[in-house]
Amino acid sequence: MSELQNLMQSTGLWRASSIDGQYLESCPSGFEALDRELPGSGWPANGITELLHDHAGIGELRLLMPALAQLSHSQTRWILFVSPPYIPYAPALTQAGIDLARVLVCQPRNTKDYLWVMEKALSSQSCSAVIAWPTRILDKQVRRLQVAARSGNCWGVLFRRESAGVNASPAELRIRLRSHTHSKDHSALSLKVIKRYGRWESGDILLHFDDELHRPMPDFSELMLQPFQSRDFKATEHTLTPQPAPPATVIHEYQ
C-alpha cells in the first residue's frame, strides 16, 4: 500500500474525483429532499456528521428519527446517546418507531471520559449510531472520531454550535439547521449542507414534519359562561320558603 493510501485511510482524506466512492453504505434519511443532496442518497453509515444549530428543540432529533428507527430494527447493534442535554423521551422514541431495547444513554463525568466513550463506542463495531453533544471539541479529536467511525462501521453524529461552521472540520458531512416559522400548521426545519463529498454546499432545504404544532388554537371565548350577576338573583328571607321533607322510605328485609 502506498504512502498516499495509508494517509487517506488513517486520516479520512478523500479524492475529489470520487464523489460517492466513500459511501459504500448509507442509510436513507426518510426525507426525499434531503436524500437528493446527500452523497450516497442517505446518511453515511461509517462517518461523522456534524449538525450545527444554536437552539434546542427545533426538530434536530426528529431529523434523525427515521434513520434511527430503521437502524434499530435492521441491525442488532446499539444506538448510543452520549450526554444528551435532555433525557430522551421514551414514548416519543417509540412513536417514531425506534426499538427502545437498542437504545443506551451514557453520561460521562468529564471531557476526557466523554471523548474516550465516543471513540470506543464508534470503533467497537457494537453500535450502529453514536449521537453526542460535545461542548468543546478540537479538530484533531473530530479526526480521531472520524477514523474510529470508519473502523467500527458506525454513524457518528455531533451536535455543535452554528459558530463552529466558520472553521473547517474533518467531519465528512456538515449541515446547518435553523427553525422555520412560516409553515401554516406543521413545524418545519431549514437545512443547508455546508460540507459533503464531491460537491459544493447546497441551497436551503425546507423539510416539513408530520405534526400540527403550528395549528392555531380555537377561540373558546364565545363558549365561556358569563360571570354570575348577584343583582339578577336577589333572595330575601321572605322569599325563601322552607320545603317539606320528603317522606321516609321504609325498607323491608325479607328473611
pLDDT (0 to 100) of residue 107:
94
- CB atoms near residue 248 (< 10 Å): 6
Domain boundaries, the chain: 21-208
The yes-or-no verdict on residue 254 having pLDDT over 50 is no
Nearest Cα to Cα of residue 68 among 37, 97, 111, 108: 97
What pLDDT does residue 156 have?
97
The answer to whether residue 86 scores a pLDDT higher than 70 is yes
Q: Does domain 21-208 have CATH number 3.40.30.10?
A: no
Residue 178 has φ and ψ, to the nearest 5°, of: -140, 150
Grid cell listed for 102: 437498542
Q: Are 119 and 145 in contact (CB under 8 A)?
A: yes
The whole-number pLDDT of residue 49 equals 97
The helix (run of H) or strand (run of E) holding residue 120 is helix 111-123
CB of 13 closer than 8 Å to CB of 21: no
pLDDT greater than 50 at residue 165 = yes
pLDDT (tens digit per residue) in 96-112 = 999 999 999 999 989 89
Each residue's pLDDT tens digit, 20-69: 444 457 899 999 999 999 988 999 999 999 999 998 888 899 999 999 99
